[in-house]
Amino acid sequence: MRIVSLLPSATDIIFELGLFDSLVGISDDCNWPPEAASKPLVARTTLDASALSSAEIDALVSESASESHSLYAVDAELMDELQPDLVITQDLCDVCAVSSGDLATACPIGTEVYSMNPRTLGDVIESVVALAERLGERERGRAVATRMRATIDEVRSAVADRPRPRVFVAEWIDPPYCSGHWLPEMVDAAGGTNVLSRPGELSFATSWESVLAERPDVVVLAACGFSVDQALGRTADLRLPVRTVVVDGDAHFSRPAPRLADGVRQLGHLLHSDAVPDPGFPAYELPVATATR
C-alpha cells in the first residue's frame, strides 16, 4: 500500500507499526521519526513561524481562521505523481495539520482519504488500533495500544495514594491556552488535578491572571507544535509566581500518537519525582517570580 500521511500523529503511528517503508509522502509537520525528512513533502504550511513570537503566531492564525484561509498548501501535482492508495488527514484542528477540506482538489480520483479525529486519551489509543486494522496490521496495532495502556497504568498505580497538586498545562504561551482533548486525562493519570479544562473539550485562550486565580501548584508549558527549544525561545520574558516547567509539547503532549504515554510518564515524574522515575525527556524550569509580568 502507498500511503501519504498529512498528519504527524499518523506518521508516528505508521512508524510504530513498522510500515514506514509504505509511506510515500508527508507534510512538513511530520518530523518524527527523524527519517521522515527523507520523504517527499506533499503539503507545506503557509505560515513561517520561525521568527514570530507566540502572540504574533496566534494573531495570524486567528486572522486566517476568520477569513477561512487554509494554513496549508497541498502539492496536487506531486500527489498525482505519487499515486497514493491512502491519504491520511484530520478534521479535529485546522491549525495543527492538513484537514480533509484542504484535499478537495488535490487527491487523484479514487484515492481514499482517511480522517483521524480522536478527542480523549482512550480515543487516541483506539485510533492506533483502527489505523492498524485499516493498514492490515491489526495485531501490531493492538500490541502498540497494549504498551500505551501499560505505561499509563504503571504511572497511575505509582501515584495512586499521593497528594494531587493542581496543574495547569498550557497548549500555547501568549496568550495561554488551557489544555484540551486528552491532556486533562494525562494530568489525572500522572497524579495531578487539572485546572481550567475538561477531558475531550476544545482548548481555549485565557489569561495568566485567570490561570493564577485557579491557584495552580505547577504550570507546564507544552506548546502545541513546538519542540522544547522552540518553546524556550518564546518564554524569555515569562515569569510566574509558581513552579513553571517547559517541555516538548510537540513530541509528548499535543500529538495524539503513542508517545502520549511517555508524556504521562514525564508528567508523573514532574509531579511525583520520588514515585515515578525520570524518563529522560527534556524539561526546563523557569525562574519563579513574585508576580506576573
Model confidence at 227: pLDDT above 70: yes
Residue 147 confidence (pLDDT): 98
Looking at the DSSP bridge assignments, the partners of residue 112 are: 86
Mean pLDDT estimate for the chain: 88
Q: Are 74 and 7 in contact (CB under 8 A)?
A: no
pLDDT band, residue 185 (cuts 50/70/90):
very high
Q: What is the pLDDT of residues 243-270, one digit of tens each?
A: 999 999 999 999 999 999 999 999 999 9
**CA 169 – CA 184 distance, rounded (Å):** 8
The CA-based dihedral angle spanning residues 232, 235, 238, 239, taken in that order and rounded to the nearest 10 degrees: 10
Residue 68 confidence (pLDDT): 45
Considering just the CA atoms, what is the radius of gyration of the chain in Å?
19
Structural domains of the chain, with CATH: 3-117 (3.40.50.1980), 162-286 (3.40.50.1980)
The more confident residue out of 15 and 93 is: 15
Which range, of 115-119, 274-278, 288-292, averages the lowest pLDDT?
A: 288-292
Please report the DSSP string for 230-291 in residue order: HHHTT-TT---SSEEEEE-HHHHTSS-STTHHHHHHHHHHHH-TTTS------EEEEPP-SS
Residue 8 confidence (pLDDT): 93
Sign of CA dihedral 218, 221, 227, 228: negative
The more confident residue out of 85 and 93 is: 85
